[in-house]
Amino acid sequence: MATAPKVSKTDGKNNHDAADEQADKEQQEAIEQIDEVQNEIDKLNENASEEILKVEQKYNTLRQPYFKKRSDLIAKIPNFWVTAFVNHPQVSALLNEDDEEALQYLTKVEVQEFEDIKSGYRINFYFDKNPYFTNDMLTKEFHLNDTGDPSSESTAIKWNEGKDLTKKTNNGKQGKKRSHEDQESFFSWFGDHGDAGADELGEVIKDDIWPNPLQYYLASEIDEETGGDGG
Amino acid sequence: MATAPKVSKTDGKNNHDAADEQADKEQQEAIEQIDEVQNEIDKLNENASEEILKVEQKYNTLRQPYFKKRSDLIAKIPNFWVTAFVNHPQVSALLNEDDEEALQYLTKVEVQEFEDIKSGYRINFYFDKNPYFTNDMLTKEFHLNDTGDPSSESTAIKWNEGKDLTKKTNNGKQGKKRSHEDQESFFSWFGDHGDAGADELGEVIKDDIWPNPLQYYLASEIDEETGGDGG
Ligand SMILES: [Ca+2]
Ligand SMILES: [Ca+2]
Ligand SMILES: [Mg+2]
Ligand SMILES: [Mg+2]
């Protein structure tokens, strides 16, 4: 333990008599005792964190069968996920027209938090056979290592020839009008590991869409009624 | 429940045959079932929040005797709190010289989180008899009401004549040099209810100093050794 700091303002004397020494000693003892009490408080805080983690893990497990059932039901609804994404303002802003077409083959989304929760999560995207790439699943995974440094990794997308949506010049489709010719593709996100500690799209899917995707799927109704394209 | 949104992109036909109707009906049923599953997930989420709150409350209670013991020990150390505050960069920035003198009479600080935690907290400041004001306790309290709106209230400070540190022109003390003549007083914070939802000083005391005030008290040592005023 460190010794007590001098409190010069309230003690202008430079001589150090016996009474002073006794007071210094008592203060030093008090500091050591505070330090011991603080260790007890720190232990309680650690126990509290562990218990809260166990509650979170218990409920993560309890939620799984409902997520499974929800995925099975969602699979019965064509274009569920692309509709939910298009209706989510932040995700929608990341989608160009080609992305929206490719995402019509997205049949299932899964968010998996790792067992100790604080260490990271993974998002799995399952695709039907499609003209764009040969993978049937794309995944992006976010980790915090032991020292708290974030990193991410993801599936390499096996694009079909001329179909790589992340390469603007390869988009092909001559004659098709595109209003946002130079907009980056949603699929570029899989290869972007620049901000793994605060991946905006990853966190929107995990924290906003995954807890209740139905509300975004259904939001299109409102759009159709108030806006509407008259087609 | 709302009905399924039309998925016009994948269904260009306008005629609505029997097979279409059957498919629409099945999708509508799936949506209703997703809604039911979602209600179950929502219930689990509420239960999880309640259990986590109970863990937090249990540990809040378990910590109390240690906080009490710590306060008793801190009371044996003259100028503990003013030293901790001066050594905390954010709090220190709010203290002028008069504040530091008045805070030498601060003997005890208490942070109390309300039983349901999310609804707010109170900070109590206990003072020895002092030349500045007659209160022996000043408190500031932060609430979130049922609709989530924040508010704060605090003790009215009963300043002695000519001692009101929140009124610059009343500071008195002619002939005393003040390097920051027009700096606002720490004590103005008690009367400032403008940002109750994110009170910076309140949150620094609650979340940063209160969990371990000793580390800030002791930080002065380091300052003295590396800096030092040579007096
Ligand atoms: Ca002395
Ligand atoms: Ca039809
Ligand atoms: Mg699903
Ligand atoms: Mg105390």
Q: Which ligand is nearest to the CA of A15?
A: 1
Average pLDDT over residues B186-214: 93
CB contact under 8 A, A69 and B3: no
Domain range for A54 is 21-74
CA B19 – ligand 2 centroid, Å: 9
**Window from A86-90, B5-9, B83-87, B192-196 with minimum mean pLDDT:** B5-9
Q: Which ligand is nearest to the CA of A108?
A: 3
Confidence of residue B197 (pLDDT cuts 50, 70, 90): confident
**What pLDDT does residue A215 have?**
96
Q: Are residues A214 and A112 in the same domain?
A: yes
Q: Are residues B142 and B166 in the same domain?
A: yes
**What pLDDT does residue B215 have?**
96
**Window from A207-221, B23-37, B47-61 with minimum mean pLDDT:** A207-221
Confidence of residue B177 (pLDDT cuts 50, 70, 90): very low
Q: Are residues A105 and A48 in the same domain?
A: no
CB contact under 8 A, A7 and B78: yes
| Residue B11 in domain | no
Considering chain B, what percentage of its residues have pLDDT values greater than 70?
80
Q: Are residues A84 and A186 in the same domain?
A: yes
**What pLDDT does residue B17 have?**
83
Q: Are residues B175 and B159 in the same domain?
A: yes
The nearest CA of chain A is from the CA of B167 a distance in Å of 25
Contacts 24+ apart (CB under 8 A), A131-136: A131/A160, A131/A163, A132/A102, A132/A105, A132/A159, A132/A160, A132/A163, A132/A165, A133/A157, A133/A158, A133/A159, A133/A160, A133/A163, A134/A158, A134/A160
| Residue B231 in domain | no
Q: Are residues B94 and B199 in the same domain?
A: yes
CB contact under 8 A, A59 and B47: yes
Considering chain B, what percentage of its residues have pLDDT values greater than 90?
67
pLDDT at B176 over 50: no
- Give the chain A residue nearest B70 (alpha carbons): A34
Could you say which residues of chain A have pLDDT below 50? 1, 6, 8-11, 170-181, 223-231
The nearest CA of chain A is from the CA of B212 a distance in Å of 7
| Residue B93 in domain | yes
Q: Are residues A202 and A183 in the same domain?
A: yes
Confidence of residue B19 (pLDDT cuts 50, 70, 90): confident
The nearest CA of chain A is from the CA of B193 a distance in Å of 31
| Residue B7 in domain | no
Q: Which ligand is nearest to the CA of B213?
A: 4
pLDDT at B175 over 80: no
Q: How many domains does chain B have?
A: 2
The nearest CA of chain A is from the CA of B194 a distance in Å of 31
**What pLDDT does residue A109 have?**
98
User: Any idea which residue has 């989180």 for tokens?
Assistant: B113
| Residue A85 in domain | yes
Find the CATH number of the domain harbouring A220: 3.30.1120.90
**What pLDDT does residue B179 have?**
46
**What pLDDT does residue B149 have?**
86
**What pLDDT does residue A134 have?**
98
- Give the chain A residue nearest B4 (alpha carbons): A218
CB contact under 8 A, A55 and B56: no
Q: Are residues A129 and A185 in the same domain?
A: yes
Q: Are residues B130 and B194 in the same domain?
A: yes
| Residue A3 in domain | no
Q: Are residues A65 and A115 in the same domain?
A: no
Here the tokens at position B17 are 């045959």
Q: Are residues B59 and B86 in the same domain?
A: no
**What pLDDT does residue A221 have?**
52
**What pLDDT does residue A164 have?**
96
- Give the chain A residue nearest B29 (alpha carbons): A73
Q: Are residues A103 and A48 in the same domain?
A: no
- Give the chain B residue nearest A219 (alpha carbons): B5
**What pLDDT does residue A178 have?**
46
**What pLDDT does residue B152 have?**
93
Given A31, A45, A76, which is nearest B27 (Cβ)?
Answer: A76
Average pLDDT over residues B104-117: 90
| Residue A10 in domain | no
Q: With helix as H, strand as E and coil as C, how does chain A read?
A: CCCCCCCHHHCCCCCCCHHHHHHHHHHHHHHHHHHHHHHHHHHHHHHHHHHHHHHHHHHHHHHHHHHHHHHHHHCCCCCHHHHHHHHCHHHHCCCCHHHHHHHHHEEEEEEEECCCCCCEEEEEEEECCCCCECCCEEEEEEEECCCCCEEEEECCCCECCCCCCCCHHHCCCCCCCCCCCCCCCHHHHHHCCCCHHHCHHHHHHHHHHCCCHHHHHHHHHHHHHHCCCCC
| Residue B19 in domain | no
